[in-house]
Structure 1
C-alpha cells in the first residue's frame, strides 16, 4: 500500500470524530452574550466553527499504522465508502394541510401565497427564501403582500418577548425602580441569554426594558415578571393579550420564549404582536435602540458603574457578514435549538412601513434569518403597489370582534370580518372596517368614517429608522 493509500485509509478512520457540542435550547441570540454563573457557558453561535475534540498524536499514529494491517477488502466497504451512501438526513417537516384562516382564507393554505399584478417583481425563489414560515405586510393598513404558511404553529423563541413587552410596558412607569431579589432570578432555563442583572441591586424599568430588547435578557424578563406578580400571572396575562389581539395560533408557556412543551406561535401572530406593540412610543424606543449603557455594580469609589450593550437585531446594527438594513427600526429576533432562528422586523422607506416575519430558515447559515428577511423587505418595497393582497393583519377583538368567527351568532353578537378573497379584494385588502388616517402637517386627519363605527387605523409615527445608531 502506497503512502497516498495510507493517508486515505487513516483519514477514513478519523471520520466521525465528534465536534464539540453546540448550545442547547437556551440560546436566544446569535451573537455572544452573558451567561449565568450557575451553568457552563455554551459556545456562542457566532458562526465560527466549534473546536474539535483533542485527538492525541500517538493515538493517531497508532491508528494510521494499524491501517496497514487492515484488509483492502474491508477498507473497500468502509474507508472508501461514498459519504452520500450513508444515512440521509430527515426530511423537513411539512406544514399542516389545514391551518387557521384568520386574516383571509389564502393565509390558511400551505405554501407560498402571492398575487402579482402586471409589472410586479417576482418573489425570491425557494433557494433564496428557505424559511418554513414567513409573511410580508404593510404595517399600517395590515395588507398582506405575500406569505408562506403564516399560520403554521412553530416555536417562537425570543420573538415571543414582543407579546411580553406589549402586555407589560403599559403597567410600569419608565423611571420606576426595583431592587432585584434572589428569587426573582430563579427558574430561568439553562443557557438563557442574560443582560447581566445582579441580585440586591436596583434598576429602573427603562433599564430592564433595554435589557429585554437589546440583549434578549431572560433575567430582565424574569425581573419584570416578578414586579408583575410572578411568572404564572404574567403568562396568563400574555395569553389573554394574545386572545385580545386575535392571535389564536399562540400558546404561552414561558414569558421569555424559552423552549417549552406546547409553546408555539406563528409568523402571523408575531406580526400582530409587533404591530400592536409599535403603537406604544416606549416600545418603539426600546426596539429601535442600537446601543445603550447598562448599570453595573459599584466601583471602589462607591459610584455605580455601567457597561455597554448592543442590540442583537443585525438588520438594525449590522454584523461582519450582513449590513444594517436601510430604514430598519426594530423589532425582535430570537433563536433556540427547537425554534431555529426567528425574526420580526419593521422598516420604513418614504411613507411606507413594512413588517416582515421569518421563522426557521432551512439554510443553517450565520445570520440567515436576517438575510432572508432583508430579501423579503426588498421585494415588498418594490412590489407594494403591484400586488393584490392575499390577506390582512386583523385588528384586536375590541375593534373587530372574534376574528375566528365569520358573521354574528349568539355567542359572538359582534361577529367577525368576512375572510374570503372576494371580501378582501372589495375592500382593497384593508378589511373594509378601518378608518384611513393620514399624518399631515403633524395633525391626524380622519379621511373616512364607516357606519359600523369609528375604527382607528394603525399609524406608526416616530419610527427611528436607524437614526439612533452610533
Structure 2
C-alpha cells in the first residue's frame, strides 16, 4: 500500500498517538506457540510477524524508490528499526523481531509498568532487603540503606543513571522482584511486545531474558504516553539525595549530588554531539547484550523512534552514532518511503474510531498515575515465531498536547505529544 500523501496522512492522525497505529487492517491472527526465550546466534529465518509479514523476515527491509534516500552504508547493529512515533509506520527495519538481550533498555518496560503506582512525592525508607539481589557490576545511582527517598528521586535514578539499586527499591515497594517481573511480562503481552521475556526487572543479564528492536520501540511508544515518563527520560541532569552524616557540630545533615543522564545523544560526549531534537529515551550496555538504545527525536514537526541493538563495530559510542545516522535517514525519508510495517496497538485498545473533530480538546494525556492507552487499531493476537531537576535538562513535557476523547469515553489519546521550545531551539549539528 503506497504511503498516503501528507494531507491525507494528517487527517488520519486524529486518532493516532505516540502509543497507537491508526491503520491496522490485517485480520486478527490465530494464537501461535510461544516462541523460544533463548536468543539465537543468527536471526531466525522465520520471526514474529506482529506489525507485518516483512518485519518477520531476516535482513534489511525498506522500500527504496525514486526520491527515497539510501540507507547508511556502514550500519553494523544486529537489529534496528526506524518508525514514525505518531502514525506507527515502520519506515525501515533490520531483523526487527530478532530476540536479543536488551540490557537496560528493558527499564523502559519497568517504568511503563510501575510509573502509575505511586505519586511522585511518596516517600520510602530503604530496608537492607530492598537492595538484595542487585547484580555485581551493576550501574548504580547510590541508594543507601536506612535513607528515605521520594519516588521521584528513585525514578530519576532509574532514568538518568540506569540505577539497578533504584530499580530494586521500587520493585520492593511493588511487592518484590518476582511480582514485578510477573507484572512486566503481563504488560508486555498487553502491548503485544511478544518477543519480550523478562527475568530481571533492571535488564541485568539473565538466562532467557530477551526483547527485540520492534518490542523496545513499542514499549517506548507506550511509555511516552505518560507525562512523567517523558520528563524523566528527557532530563539531562538532576540532584540526588546523598547520605545523612554528622557535621562538625554533630548535627545530622543530608546533602545531594548531581547525576547526569547516560544517554549520550541527550547529554553529548567527546565524540558524540547532542542530537538536534532528541528527547529521550533509554540506553543500555551489558556483556551479553552489547550496547542497546531506543531514542525519540523531533524535527520539522515529525517525531521518530529509532531502536538499535548491539552494533558489531568496536568503536566508542557506536550505538549512538548508528542511531543518529538512522534518525537522519528517517527525517529525510519520512513522507517519501512506503512503510514496511507498523507498530501495533495494545490488545485491550478499543476498536471504535475517534469522534469527529469537535471532540478534540486541549489537555495532557499523561502524568503520574496516568495509564492512558490509545485506540483505533485491530490488535494482532500473537507472534508467529520462536533535589530538583535542572530546568535546562528537561527536553519534554510541560505544555499540554491535543487529546481526543474516543467513543465511550474510556481512552484519552495524545494526538501529538509536544516538545518544548528548548528542543526546537537547539542548533542543528
Q: Fold-level match, TM-score > 0.5?
A: yes
- 1:444: which partner in 2? 402
Q: Is the CA contact 2:134–2:165 (under 8 Å) kept in the aligned structure 1?
A: yes
In 1, Cα distance between equivalents of 2:154 and 2:167: 8
Match of 2:7 in 1: none
Task: Label 1:306 to 1:415 Cα distance change in 2 as closer, same or farther (>3 A).
Answer: closer
**Any residues of structure 2 matched to 1:135-150 within 5 Å, and which?**
135-150=81-96
Q: CA deviation at 1:135?
A: 0.2
- Paired position in structure 1 for 2:280: 330
What is the TM-score with the length of structure 2 in the denominator?
0.75
2:416 aligned with 1:459: yes
Instruction: Show CA shifts across 1:343-386 (max 9, x none).
Output: 00000112111000000001021100000000000000011011
Which of 39, 52, 56 aligns to 1:108? It is 56
Choose which of 222, 244, 247 in structure 2 pairs with 1:276: 222
Q: Distance in 2 between matches of 1:400 and 1:464?
A: 34
**Cα distance, 1:93 vs. partner?**
3.6
Identify which of 130, 146, 161 aligns with 1:215. Answer: 161
3-state SS of the aligned residue for 1:395?
A: coil
1:467 positional shift:
7.9
**1:291–1:309 Cα contact (<8 Å) kept:** yes
| Aligned partners of 2:344 and 2:379 also within 8 Å | no
Shift, 1:94, TM fit: 2.2
5+ long unaligned stretches in structure 1: 1-91, 402-413, 420-440
Q: Distance in 2 between matches of 1:309 and 1:468?
A: 24
Matches of 1:467 and 1:176 in 2, distance apart?
33
- Structure 2 residue runs without a partner (length 5+): 1-39, 352-376, 383-398
Provide the rounded CA distance (Å) in 2 between the counterparts of 1:131 and 1:445. 36
1:260-318 alpha-carbon deviations (Å, 9 max, x no partner)? 00000000000011000000000001000000110001341522100111000000000
1:131 aligns with 2:77: yes
Taking a change above 3 Å as real, the CA distance of residues 382 and 182 of structure 1, as seen in their structure-2 partners, is same
Compare CA radii of gyration and give the structure with the larger one: 1
Deviation of 1:462 after TM superposition, in Å, equals 4.0
The one of 75, 97, 116 equivalent to 2:45 is 97
> In 2, are the aligned partners of 1:159 and 1:342 still within 8 Å (CA)?
yes
The RMSD of aligned alpha carbons is 2.7
Give the total of aligned pairs.
341
**Within-5 A mapping of 1:75-224:** 93-125=41-73, 128-224=74-170
Higher relative contact order (CA 8 A, sep 6+): 2
Partner of 1:366: 316
Q: Pick the aligned partner of 2:252 from 302, 313, 324.
A: 302
CA contact (8 A) 2:101 2:289 kept: yes
Measure, in 2, the Cα distance between the counterparts of 1:231 and 1:308.
Answer: 28
- The one of 366, 375, 378 equivalent to 2:328 is 378
Aligned to 2:339, which of 389, 398, 402?
389
1: CA distance, partners of 2:288 / 2:401: 46
Secondary structure of the corresponding residue to residue 241 of structure 1: helix
Q: Per the alignment, in what secondary structure is the counterpart of residue 371 of structure 1?
A: helix
Q: Is contact 2:97–2:195 with CA below 8 Å preserved after alignment?
A: yes
Q: Structure 2 CA distance, aligned partners of 1:118 and 1:393?
A: 25
Call closer, same or farther: CA 1:101–1:170 in 2, change over 3 Å: same
Q: What TM-score, normalized by structure 1, do the two folds share? A: 0.69
How far apart in 1 are the matches of 2:414 and 2:126? 39
**Do 2:401 and 2:414's aligned partners in 1 also have CA atoms closer than 8 Å?**
no
